[in-house]
Structure 1
């Protein structure tokens, strides 16, 4: 009998060589799409009971507890990331805890690819594909933002000053990877972000 086997969107992608920032896929993260009303105290309490962290209520913010991260996506939507092996367990726990409360929790681990950029110059590389000015003080570590990146829908997470994760739909993973490999080629550096003192 055949068994389902997970294969990451970039399992067969050409390695990112000769780049001035490192690029790699984060394949081991699971993702849960959570919907509900931030104004509903029962919903917020039920989510916290499962996740051990308050859902962020402010735009472009994230909350972290252990290996769980929660990204604010809209007033009634959050993206929860966790180890892939825990995604279904957490989805089931949320569904059970939220029973009778206007809400929805869905395991969407296979929906998106996550590409991590690391090193000096990551903000400049990302800015080659978006109109967002990442040199602005509005983008400190922890910032989460939906954006148009290289003409496709993407989600930006600034993990640290020199570490950025880009989330794209699985079908655009190869396209995004190829764009980033070219944008980060040695010799194509554009130094617009000041070095930290």
Structure 2
């Protein structure tokens, strides 16, 4: 049977322009979309037994320190608020993640919601990534203030995003943006990147 998956990522039309800007930057920047990542919104009492059970189901405790992220295998767990996390995994993992978290919660009062279709993810990396993002973000992105493993809900060029400083060396940033703002934000990044290309 033929593959009938006809999904189109929010930035499929911009892929060529993102790749061209990456090439033109001479290694200063890398801009790309990471489409279809699994994203599960998790809300629960951080002091309750469901929090510990959710951490065990994910392979790492939920981050309790504001504006931090935890990596475990191919998952990232982002702190979004005192009782809210975003679990990000590989494409297609949302059903498994949702089932694992619901099973771990048992009878506890929790909210587990698949929000994978709500956002797409832009990868911004390279030696000038922080400089590029600083053009449109009010956060202090200095690594001493916003270190690898940091995450925050913020505005980038007036678009609401979740910004994640990746922990892997030279991995740069994930910019999780609502699908309806993805084209606008990609255009803004490409325009702001012109001084580096």
Q: Equivalent of 1:98, from 92, 105, 109? A: 105
Q: How do 1:13-162 residues align onto structure 2 when only pairs under 5 Å count?
A: 13=14, 14-16=16-18, 17=20, 18-19=24-25, 20-40=28-48, 42-135=49-142, 137-160=144-167, 162=170
* Conserved? CA contact 2:153–2:162, under 8 Å: yes
Q: Does 1:165 align with 2:174?
A: yes
Pairs aligned (count): 185
SS at match of 2:93: helix
Choose from 187, 190, 193 the match for 1:181: 190
Q: Which moved more, 1:125-134 or 1:93-102?
A: 93-102
Where 1:184 maps in the other structure, the secondary structure is helix
Higher helix share: 2
For residue 7 of structure 1, what is the aligned residue in structure 2? Answer: 8
3-12 or 51-60, which moves further after superposition? 3-12
Structure 1 gap segments, 5+ residues each: 190-197
For the residues of structure 1 that align with 2:44 and 2:164, how far apart are their CA atoms? 22
Q: CA RMSD in A?
A: 1.8
1:95-149 CA deviation, whole Å, 9 max, x = no partner?
1221310101111111101000121111010011112221261111111011111
SS in structure 1 of the partner of residue 173 of structure 2: strand
CA distance in 2, matches of 1:140, 1:96: 33
